[in-house]
Structure 1
Amino acid sequence: MQSLRRNRLTIAVNLSLLLLPGLAAAQDAATPPAPAAAPEEAKTLDRVQVTGTRIKQTNAVTSQPVAIITRAQIDQSGATSIGDFLQQLTASGQALNAKFNSSGNFGYPSSGGGIGAGSSQVDLRNLGSQRVLVLVDGIRWVNESSASGVSGSADLNTIPMAIVDRIEVLEDGASAIYGSDAIAGVVNIITRKKYDGALVHVKAGSYGHGGDDREADITVGGASDRFSGVFSAGYVETKGISSGVWGQSSMPIPGAGIGAGSSATPQGRFTFCDPRITTPGTQGYCDAQGNDWFDITLNDGTTTPNYNGGDPTGAGGTYHNWSGADRFNYAPYNLLLTPSKRKSLFASATYDINDTTSLHAKALYNNRESTNQAAPEPMFVGPFAGTGGIADSIVISALNPYNPFGIDLDPSSNFGWVTKRPLELGPRIFSQNVDTWYVNLGLNGTFQVGRGMDWSVDYVHSENKAEQTFSNGFNIGKIKLALGDPTVCAASPGCIPLDLFGGEGRPITQAMLDYISTPQHDSSKQVLDLLTANLTGDLWQMGDDRYAGFAVGYEHRKYEGNFNPDPLRQTGESQDSFASPVSASYTVNEGYAELLLPWTKGFSTDFAIRRSQYSTFGGATTGKAGFRWQPIEDLVLRGTWSQGFRAPNLGELYGLTQFGATLTDPCGTTGTPGPAGPEYVAGCAAQGVPVTFEQANTQITTFTGGNPNLQPEKSDNYSFGAVWSPGWADNLAWSSKLDFEVNYFHYKIKDAIQAPDIQAILNGCTAGTITGAACSGFTRGAGFNLNPPTDFLANLGTITTNGIDLKANWVGPQTNWGQLNAGLQATRTIGYKAVDADGNQTQRRVGVEVNDSAIPDWQSNLQLGWKSGDWNASWIVRYISSVKEDCGNAGVTPATGCPTAADIHTLGSTVYNDAQLAWNHSMGIQGLKLSVGVNNIFDKSPPVCVTCSLNGYDAGTYDLPFRFWYVSADFRF
């Protein structure tokens, strides 16, 4: 009876799913419970391997929480990407997806991994995608390249949806089992290995504002006495959605964080002083503080700029004083959804050499073509540009035939900047082409020792190679020549003087654009070679039908990474961003051992240890201990404690790039002169910043990159939980089955690899709460604007987070009108805290929106299902609790919901509703299944985020602002 109840709890966990209750799960649940098995039947239960341990056992309810997501659930979601599907887990945090359109807007993040344009990742426990290990059939997957860096995260768009049989998510640390990167958890994607017949799948969907989705794939398979094989080919295409179709982005001056707009406008912005004006207190007087400098822009409709003898805003002048109302709304040129095409081929085969040994092989090719788009590239010329490069030192000659001011504009004396947004060139286009190759060859079998021992040996070669072409960008070196002395320009092949002064009334000519614009090409590549060997079985008998289980193994890995930015980026001549190349590799040798001790039929303990030896930093040892206790037939209590580590990846070690951080200067935010709060007054005065100072630009270039002296992150995590499957709820008039699960988690990461929270440090240094070396990177240049600070990676301090997962599943009785089922999953994040080595806490915490990312207190998914014959229906409700953001990070005030910088803005709680109706054996055709679904049925828009960049909402937390409908057909034959 104990074994039977254990089997029932196994089913309970498989039903305790993180998302939509699938059709197959509903069918299984509808099957009446089997009669009590005889003791000898219980002994023949199949032993299986579940993610989180390599020991095969009959108990799927292991000491650690594992969620199993069926193929039916994936189909029912309407998702076109594994990553997009997993990002709806209640345990998920912010991760890249197709809603991110950041190429060309901010430069490169400090992680050295690049922008990840077009990729889709997964984050667990808000600890970052780099701390989630992605496996395919128990073997680690190659990390992404995405053309712009060497990443420590896997792109799930490289794994076709068509090949997935199920997904197992380990919501617990597992470095002792799998090695580096498994600090937050493990996602194990199990592929189809056997398929009898053929399956053709087609799907079409749309957001109604673009974003049309098309899918088609075919899977065929068969088997003989010794051979089985599966082949799959797939195609997925998603169209883009322009930000301009959403009112929040398309209004003249949006009321979110994008309300700051850009200083680079089609009419131009000109900040300078005129040394011919010598009277103090007169605009144009060249005082050292820049108090009387001109800060002007062309009037709309101007065809011939008129400086009017040094009084550009007076009678006859064609300029007016610059204000926030003149800022340019770049949002309509961006994308809400980035387009992509994915093509894939996959084959898997197994051949039984004899009764005890099999040969297996897998091969995959996946290609992704994706595109990002940004507003026409702005030109920032002069020291206020703050690039730290060529643009800051450009002198605009008085002899330039288009210079209306008649004076040299010289950064050393009288020049702040000239900005210009040339709409005539068109938007910036970033096109990615990403190829992924994967080959796995291996042997597996059984040793006839004792009750039998299972072994496997695998070799894997995989690579991810990405190319990116950037169109409509500028060569700042050529801009310098074209703005300088025309004689020097004339001596340079192809150079013609550049006009930045005519606004829209006198557009830049095509000949000028042809000289200064140039396509740029970036590429990156990651290669993973892996050899692994594993052995698992029983050691000794510990009682009736109880044996000590073990697993041991060895793994060798070699990582290679290359990043080759365009030569213009490397020399600093790209107006877009600076980046330096990376070419490096390292090797890892690891051995591990696991031991499972079933002390009684209801109580067992398990232990694991792993030793890793890296060519970069040396060795590391991690351990794990867990228990499973079944005090009564209906209840399992479990818990784990484990150590983890994450080795710095190649991008984190060696990358060097620039990032356009959206920083708010406490001494004078954009649109509001003077200190943002009283706590900053003394600090700003000490830096000599006048009370009239106003931040020139919301994006302040920051030098970021890797650190070759990084050491591995280390972690401790523990979890406690219970699974309750009450027998009294079986086969009743109102219930066929009822299951509950609760789990408490706690993670502490030490020596966390991350860049400092530069906004928090800037605020603290200005307020005087932070002093010393942490503040040395903040200096001021022309016009008291911040010089580019540095924000390099370091083993900064600690990250801690804890919370509770709650799950419940109910299956109703079978009736004449069908059967109902319901499932609920909820995650309550209790705490999140990141503190550096100096005790400075980052702004990120529970219930707060910061840096385009939120950690809601509660996330929950509720599924309601109905099945009757060949008909299945589901209704899913997804809930995200409210979060708050600091208006002081908005970069501009006032903004919607932010009258002053001292205010707090609330992003209200959000509820999404999804539904699907499916008809099996449709129209009497055996094997044909038709489905129709709608996600975000009520067209719920994401809450406005005043601190978020680009489109003014958090694309990692919330859905797109439109409903998505789809229809699909599956035909099995």
Structure 2
Amino acid sequence: MKHGRKEHQLRYKALSWAVRSAIGAGVGLVAINSSALAQTSDQNPPVQKVEITGSSIKRIDAETALPVQIIRREDIDKSGVTTAAELLSKISASAAGLTDGASFSDISGQRGFNGANLRGIGVSSTLVLLNGRRLANFASPGGNAGVDLNSIPAAAISRVEVLKDGASAIYGTDAIGGVINFITRNDYQGAEISAYYGDTQHGGAAKDILTVSGGFGSLASDKYNVMAVLDYQNTKSLRSTQRDWIGSAYQPDINLDVGSSNTYPANVRLTKPSGSATGPRMNPSAPNCNPPATVYAPGSFVGSKACLYDYMHDTEIFPESQRLSLLTRGQLAVSADHTLFAEALHSDTKTTYRISPLTITDLNYPLGGQYYPNALIPTGQTPLRVSMRLTEAGPRTNEVESKADRLLLGAKGTSGDWDYDTAINHSVNTVDDNYINGYVKTSVFNSAFLSGKINPFGPSGGDGLALLNAAKISDAARHSRGTTDSADIKASRDLFALAGGNAAVALGAEYRREKMTFTPSALLAAGEIRGDGTASAFSGDRTVKAVYAEFNFPILKNLETQLAVRHDSYDDVGSTTNPKVGLRWNPVKEVVVRASYGTGFRAPSLSDLYGPPRLGQTNGIYNDALGCIKTAAIDNTNNPDYCGLQPDKLQGGTAGLKPEKSKQFSAGMVFEPNRNLTASLDYWRIEKTDVIVAPEGSYFDDPARNAAYIVRDVPDPALPGIPGRILSIDSRLRNIGSLKTSGLDLSLDWRLPASSWGKFGITLNGTYVIDYKTQENNGGSEINGVGVFANDQVVQRWRHTLTFDYERGPWGATLQQTFYQGYNDQALLPDGSIHRVSSYSLWDLSSSFKWSEALRLRVGIKNLFDTNPPRSNQVYSFLAGYDPNYTDPRGRYFYTSLNYAFK
């Protein structure tokens, strides 16, 4: 009941805030930049020029020299997605993005961040726009810089244009992998209310949504339009214990052995007079380790009486979240040729992460402690170094709140022969990471633990619990703020006549100021939060100035070329000039041949450059290839025991980072034999140098070659030939080498002619990756990562979305498949052979019924066949046994939505 009252209060506050905001916003707001849209008004005016993502020149023909995938509102509804992040999973060109599942793995960094990643070349190389203009990046510092997809108002989306080609010469240097332009409604009149509810068959991850939209005024007749869209979403969490397919962290048949050596009851080791640990681990409960969180694993601890902690049975795999967004906009036609517009966005996302309890690895339980395990270790021995879980403190729980705000003011119209568009943009993102349970103050806990009153081996007594509770903290540990202020102007016009039509030009300029600050709490700054290192406040800023020009030359009636060049000047990393050339040829009416070439330049983000180093923990749990000895080859009593490690890692920015540089090429063909069938095939290739990464898994894959980035304890003389235990790794950002990737995009849209049976349609969008080759500068060999877990991610060889549509009268149905081809896993099987991760195929079914022009009902089943994620022995992600970066752990999911429009 208490939880219910809290949820009710949250909803009441959210709705009351939204009402106040909507009233306040109605005075002067907000518009969409129609030059970023390619849509016509509801009144079907004469054919006019529009602008398509990838070009600043308005045109009548929407098929340009560049490959653009358009996803319309009806397509989004049919697929059953409710967020921008879910939508990205349906785009085959998207790979290795940041998802809710992956956020669990970022246990000390960018929790709460959902990021887009076209071509798998990095979130920081994909440009996300809202109505053709930028938003502030996710403010929390880390290895990825990009727009948080949670800040995109999904309910307000009219369509999405995905430019699957580099666009540095048009939109900015960082558009290397492509551009995703979320386009919202324009000139909307009337009101709508929509309610959605969904729940899983097996429990957990239920979701409810309420959306209210309204607009009044016609730009054509009333000379103004004001509209607003309010959306509230509430999602429940999903625990690992709610899914019976969740395997153990110890699955020897696939060589998965990432159970943690930090357990409850605690593993212990004897200590030397110096206080350091020696000898094998022991556990007073072994071999009958305390279920279900621990499991006896003799394969990992030969000759020892120890336990492993199976954290996969003691964590959440899908987070609880609440999202509230309000988009308002207004337009005012001051004359027939000039329109003023404004747009305001507020988005607030709260996400709660609960993972396994805190680890304690650097304290010795005193010899005289009341819980000393005398039955295991004879009295008179030494204090014991513990490897324990602080289970009695509860799960580590963080509430991350990300707020995004954007205010856009501008004007558009015609002046003489020029079409112009100009705006000023103020965009802010703030992120607060609050530690609300499961954490303790280091100095207070250390003192309490050394008293011997806190029991590492079972329930503590009243005095021990009192000491533990006194050490627990609730702390607003991290506050980050990022702002992007910009002013831009562009204008286009026809130049002169050519054989194929009028040549055209677009000229533009942009001024952009970016700032970010990170402020740790007093506890975090002092290193007083157990499990986190010391964090320092920092700030950074930069100014970017750019000018660009674009030309379109219709040389012949069936041949045109696009030429563009952009010069960007960064006040911290220098200047760059990036050209682009595109070609479009119609050899016959039914065929379009297109090609393009361009360059790019991705400046290190402010966090990349100015984020100070800090100590955290690795995302995954690893085995040290030089010391995880799983046989008795050395000595049963002196086993090095370097298995199931989660060492510290040094992370943060690096002041001397160089910008990434790129070259992009694409060539393809569009075939349209009739109005009911369109097919396209495009080849693409991207090359990047000086790639910026924050390595982790590769250090454990090849610790000898990466020895310079690994800090070890002194070797144990009793273990000849075995290096010291890994204490930490240096995972700060660095320019690691080169990347080359290429592939094919296939698209098919076939609409059968309408008949008495209804209307049928088939759509296919697929991506085949030919290669994904990386090479490190420090002597590493070239690795082809396509179809292989490599470089801490997966880029599948083939991905597609296949959709079958049917409509008859007021009724419609859609069956959609999302497919990811299998790949070679991160680790080999016990016999040295490759573990092949199975292909992953999800089928979604939805049906809609339209009672009237005002009332629509939709019901659907996501994951129709209740397909579980395929087994994986990857160890990079904190969530083990499967890969959460592209899979959906929810299982079969039922949903229904009801929409009513007031006209």
TM-score band, normalised by shorter chain: 0.7 to 0.9
Residue 253 and residue 696 in structure 1: after superposition, are their counterparts in 2 closer, same or farther (change >3 A)? closer
Q: From 657, 665, 668, give the equivalent of 2:614.
A: 657
The reply to whether residue 956 of structure 1 matches residue 896 of structure 2 is: no
Counterparts in 2 of 1:696 and 1:324: CA distance versus 1, 3 Å: farther
Which of 625, 640, 646 is the aligned partner of 1:699? 646
Deviation of 1:251 after TM superposition, in Å, equals 5.7
CA gap 1:325/1:959 in 2 versus in 1, 3 angstroms: farther
- 2:285 maps to 1:299: yes
Aligned to 1:22: none
SS in 2 for 1:480: helix
What is the DSSP-based 3-state SS (H/G/I as helix, E as strand, rest coil) of the residue aligned with 2:523? Answer: helix
Q: What is the deviation of 1:156?
A: 1.2
Preserved contact between residue 203 and residue 966 of structure 1 (Cα < 8 Å): yes
Give CA deviations for 1:862-915 in whole Å, capped at 9, x if unaligned: 111111111111111222111111425xxxxxxxxx335x33211111221111
Equivalent position of 2:210 in the other structure: 216
Q: Is the 8 A contact 1:833 1:845 kept in 2?
A: yes
Q: 1:713 to 1:851 in 2, by over 3 A?
A: closer
CA contact (8 A) 2:303 2:636 kept: no
- Structure that is richer in strand per residue: 2
1:825-850 deviations in whole A, cap 9, x for unaligned?
Answer: 21111100121223414767011124
Distance (Å, rounded) in 1 between the aligned partners of 2:689 and 2:799: 27
Normalising by structure 2, report the TM-score. Answer: 0.86
Deviation at 1:515, TM superposition (A): 3.1
The answer to whether the 8 Å contact 1:144/1:150 transfers is no
8 Å CA contact retained: 1:396, 1:408: no
Pick one of 542, 553, 565 that aligns with 2:520: 565
CA distance in 2, matches of 1:253, 1:149: 30
Match in the other structure for 2:734: 794
Question: 1:460-507 CA distances to partner (integer Å, 9 max, x unpaired)?
Answer: 1111112121122022223333345x6xxxxxxxxxx54344434768
Aligned with 1:604 (options 542, 560, 584) = 560
Q: How does 1:81-120 map to 2 (within 5 A)?
A: 81-102=83-104, 107-108=107-108, 114-115=109-110, 117-120=111-114
> CA offsets per residue over residues 262-286 of structure 1, 9 Å max, x none?
21211111111477xxxxxxxxxx9
Q: How many angstroms apart in 1 are the aligned matches of 2:861 and 2:734? A: 45
State which drifts further: 148-157 or 67-76.
Answer: 148-157
CA distance in 2, matches of 1:931, 1:738: 27
Inter-partner Cα distance in structure 1 for 2:143 and 2:822:
35
TM-score, normalization by structure 1: 0.80
> Comparing 520-529 with 944-953, which one deviates more in the overlay?
944-953
Match of 1:633 in 2: 589
Q: Is the alpha carbon distance of 1:672 and 1:223 closer, same or farther for their aligned partners in structure 2, counting shifts above 3 Å? A: farther
Aligned Cα root-mean-square deviation (Å): 3.2
Matches within 5 A, 1:395-434: 397-398=366-367, 402-403=371-372, 417-434=385-402
1:440 CA drift (Å): 0.3
Identity of aligned residues (%): 28
Give the conservation status (yes or no) of the 8 Å contact 1:364–1:439: yes
Distance 2:193 2:604 in 1: 43
Rounded to whole Å, the distance in 2 between the matches of 1:204 and 1:671 is 50
Does the aligned pair in 1 maintain the 2:69–2:162 contact within 8 Å?
yes
1:775 aligns with 2:775: no
1:465 and 1:251 map into 2 onto residues whose CA distance is 37
Matched, 1:726 2:685: no
2:20 maps to which residue?
A: none
Q: Which amino acid aligns with 2:666?
A: S
Amino acid across the alignment from 1:660: Q
Q: Give the C-alpha shift of residue 82 in structure 1.
A: 0.9
Q: Distance in 2 between matches of 1:408 and 1:868?
A: 77
Report Cα offsets for 1:384-409 as digits up to 9, x if no partner: xxxxxxxxxxx655455555579999
Distance 1:160 1:797 in 2: 37
Task: Summarize the Cα distance change of 1:574–1:627 in structure 2 as closer, same or farther, 3 Å threshold.
Answer: same
* 1:534-590 deviation digits (Å, cap 9, x = unpaired): 11111112136x111111111111111111223333333322222332211111111
Asked whether 1:204 is paired with 2:193, we answer no
Q: 1:899 aligns with which of 819, 823, 830?
A: 830
- Stretches of structure 2 that go unaligned for 5 or more consecutive residues are 1-39, 290-300, 717-723
| Residue 178 (str. 1) matches residue 196 (str. 2) | no
> 2: CA distance between counterparts of 1:325 and 1:886?
27
User: C-alpha displacement at 1:107, in angstroms?
Assistant: 4.1
Contact residue 270 and residue 383 of structure 2 kept, 8 A = yes
Q: 2:121 is matched with which residue?
A: 127
- What's the counterpart of residue 940 of structure 1? 867
1:640-678 Cα deviation digits (max 9, x unpaired): 000011111111112223343333311232755679xxx
**Pair 1:668-2:668 in alignment:** no
Counterpart in the other structure of 1:860: 800
Matched, 1:872 2:872: no
Residue type at the aligned position of 1:811: R
Q: 1:231 to 1:674 in 2, by over 3 A?
A: farther
* Equivalent position of 1:245 in the other structure: 242
1:461 match: 426
Deviation at 1:760, TM superposition (A): 3.4
2:182 matches 1:189: yes
Aligned-pair distance for 1:374?
A: 0.7
Give the letter aligned to residue 347 of structure 1.
Answer: T
Q: Tell me by how many angstroms 1:739 deviates.
A: 1.5
Residues 101-500 of structure 1: matches in 2 within 5 Å? 101-102=103-104, 107-108=107-108, 114-115=109-110, 117-146=111-140, 152-208=145-201, 209-224=203-218, 225-249=222-246, 259-273=257-271, 290=278, 293-299=279-285, 326-382=307-363, 397-398=366-367, 402-403=371-372, 417-449=385-417, 453-470=418-435, 471-484=437-450, 498-500=453-455
- CA shift at 1:244, angstroms? 1.0
* Structure 2: distance between partners of 1:612 and 1:427: 47
Asked if 1:553 corresponds to 2:470, the answer is no
Counterpart of 2:76 in 1: which secondary structure?
A: helix
CA distance in 1, matches of 2:773, 2:748: 29
Q: Determine helix, strand or coil for the equivalent of 1:596.
A: strand
Query: Using the alignment, how far apart are the partners of 1:174 and 1:667 within structure 2?
Result: 45
Alignment of 1:794-943 (within 5 A): 794-841=734-781, 845-850=785-790, 853-887=793-827, 898-900=829-831, 902-920=832-850, 922=851, 925-943=852-870
Q: 1:838 to 1:782 in 2, by over 3 A?
A: closer
Cα 1:288/1:615, change in 2 over 3 Å: closer
How many equivalent pairs are there? 827
Partner of 2:894: 965
Q: 1:674 to 1:364 in 2, by over 3 A?
A: farther
Residues 777 and 423 (structure 1 numbering): CA distance in 2 closer, same or farther, change over 3 Å?
closer
1:787-818 CA-partner distances (Å, limit 9, x unpaired): 31212212221111100011112111211111
Deviation at 1:235, TM superposition (A): 0.7
| Secondary structure, counterpart of 1:651 in structure 2 | helix
Matching of residues 532-551 of structure 1 within 5 Å: 532-543=488-499, 546-551=501-506
Cα drift, residue 199 of structure 1: 1.5
Superposition deviation, residue 288 in structure 1 = 11
Instruction: Tell me, yes or no, if the aligned pair for 1:106 and 1:660 is still in contact at 8 Å.
Output: no
- In the alignment, what sits opposite 1:315? none
Listed as ranges, the matches of 1:734-773 within 5 Å are: 737-755=676-694, 757-761=695-699, 763-764=701-702, 766=704, 770=705
Deviations 1:16-42 (A, max 9, x none): xxxxxxxxxxxx9xxxxx9xxxxxx9x
Shift of 1:336: 2.0
Deviation at 1:428, TM superposition (A): 1.3
Contact residue 475 and residue 516 of structure 1 kept, 8 A = yes
Q: Could you say what secondary structure the match of 2:727 adopts?
A: coil
8 A Cα contact 1:610 1:622, kept in partner:
yes
Distance in 2, matches of 1:625 and 1:447, equals 28
**8 Å Cα contact 1:260/1:670 also seen in 2:** no
Matched-pair contact (CA < 8 Å) for 1:100–1:955: yes
